[in-house]
A and B are shown apart, each in its own frame.
Chain A
Amino acid sequence: MTASSVTSQVSPPEPPDVDDHDDDHGGWWSDSPGWAKAVVAVGAVLILLLVGGLAGAVIGQRTAPTYAPAAGSVDVGFLQDMSVHHRQAIQMAVWERSNTTDPALRQLAFDIESSQTQQLGMMQGWLQLWEQRGETAPGQYMAWMGMPMPSMPGMATEADLQRLRASTGQPLDVEFLQLMLRHHEGGLHMMESAAAQASVPAVRTLATSMVTTQTAESQTMTQLLAARGAAPLPMN
């Protein structure tokens, strides 16, 4: 009844639906200056944008599986396989660095050892973040390329490694160069596949840099072998 009495007196400027609730403050909105209305309107728009943005961010986070690739994906499969591949290269390079008498071969072996140790750390770190195991399950090598294999191309056998460790002097250098050259060339196809197909950009970038580095190192090792009168091994 209060409201109606107000309405009767001030009815021309005030619509009836407003004064039903705002009788205490009168027409604060309609009485407000234009700039204040503008500020409040901008605020309303901002709140709407914020709510929309937050909702979008939450939905976006839910639908970004590329940053946690699943087991069996190209990313996980490549990192697991290449971890095994790199570990053996590091093993052979460490042996050569410690036992060669040729300073140039020592430098080459150290370069391979240190580069691949760094790359192994990156690969293991990503696998750990994605809660995947650090290496391929036995007999499942290259399954991510559509053909599970008991081993990977270029890998040295236990007999190869024993022959390497039993050698000294130039025969050791030749063994090392032959095994490492075959190792590099055997891994190339996997690296190229991952460089082209991995879903995570950082994995593609790493695989690309492996291709660049190892292609160049393979050329160097081919020349070093030739200079020692030895031929490369056939691919296994």
Chain B
Amino acid sequence: MAGARKRTSSAGRSAPKNRQVPWLLIGAIVVVLALIGGIGFFLFDRSAQISPWRPSQDNRDPSLAIPGIVLQAYEGQHHVTPEQRVAYDRTPPFGGPHDGYWAACNGQVYPQPVRNENMVHSLEHGAVWIAYDPARVQGAALDTLTAKVQGQNQMMMSPYPGLEQPISLQSWGHQLAVPDATDPRIDQFISSLRGNPNGVFPEVGASCDALGPGAFDPANPPPFEGQPYPRDALPMNYQGTSGAGGMGGAG
């Protein structure tokens, strides 16, 4: 009977052939399309999971790829006393000598500006510090930033009067200024640097908790002192700093 059908088709080659539904061909095409779609989805899904902003052995400091990132190498572990000041080379500072008492960086949202020397020590412990200009960042923008900090270890935020751009992010040796709170580079900076285990900041695994009154009290932090720096402020070449003397000599 197959031969009969075939014979008919060969008699009028073009017209009757259209009646013949090529199920095998259609099936093969459907399978191939499903395969391509599946592989495509798998690859897309995987690439979405492997964030380019997550530190890894192959990508030890992803922040290097963030447009506008500013880098500066600093030595860690140089301490000053609570009475001393440091003439920092950057605004806000992101490395250099610092107070022996680190500022609490366990998700602290400081309502007031905090002394530079304490904040820089928290950067040494792997914290990301969001500084914002209180005159230009308010309302919804401030809420957006707060949500990135509150309850997050190794995060802290404080107003910083006189910033050049409305928002400035600091990590030890890294800084990024951005114009508004929705800038995607904010999350890229945080993901790349906060708690990065690859030695981009000096003290991996160090605490962000404060010991309270007598040390650093998050409810009553030492007040911010702006520029110009006083004549006796310590220079960035680490002379006159260190833990010697015992007053500011904590880790």
Contact = CB atoms under 8 A, between A and B. Distances in A.
A108 B251 contact: yes
Interface string B31-50: 11101100100000000000
Interface of A: 2-3, 5-6, 9-10, 23-26, 28-29, 31-32, 36, 39-40, 42-43, 46-47, 50, 102-108, 110-112, 114-115, 118-119, 122, 201-202, 205-206, 208-209, 212-213, 216-217, 219-220, 223-224, 226-228
A201 B198 CA distance: 10
27 contacts: A2-B3, A26-B17, A28-B24, A29-B25, A31-B17, A39-B28, A43-B35, A46-B39, A50-B35, A104-B247, A107-B215, A107-B250, A107-B251, A112-B251, A115-B251, A118-B207, A122-B205, A201-B57, A202-B57, A212-B202, A216-B77, A216-B251, A220-B242, A220-B249, A220-B251, A223-B243, A224-B249
Contacts of A28: 22, 24-25
B62 to A, nearest CB: 15
A23 B195 CA distance: 69
Contacts of A104: 100, 243, 246-250
Contacts of A36: 25, 28-29
A228 B203 CA distance: 26
B101 interface: yes
Given A104-B247, A227-B244, A47 B205 contact: no
A217 B77 contact: yes
A111 B205 CA distance: 10
Contacts of B33: 39
Task: Identify whether the interface residues of A are mostly helix, strand, loop, or mixed.
Answer: helix
Nearest to A110: B211
B9 A26 contact: yes
Contacts of B22: 25, 28, 31-32
Contacts of A10: 6, 10
Given A25-B22, A36-B29, A205 B198 contact: yes
B179 to A, nearest CB: 34
A154 B36 CA distance: 61
Contact of B10 (A9, A102, A201): A9
Q: Identify the 4 closest CB pairs spanning chains A and B, nearest first.
A: A43-B32, A107-B250, A111-B251, A114-B207
Nearest to A25: B24
A149 B240 CA distance: 42
Contacts of A119: 205
A102 to B, nearest CB: 7
Contacts of A24: 2
Contacts of B17: 26, 31
B173 interface: no
Given A39-B32, A208-B199, A106 B211 contact: yes
Contacts of B79: 220
A106 B215 contact: yes
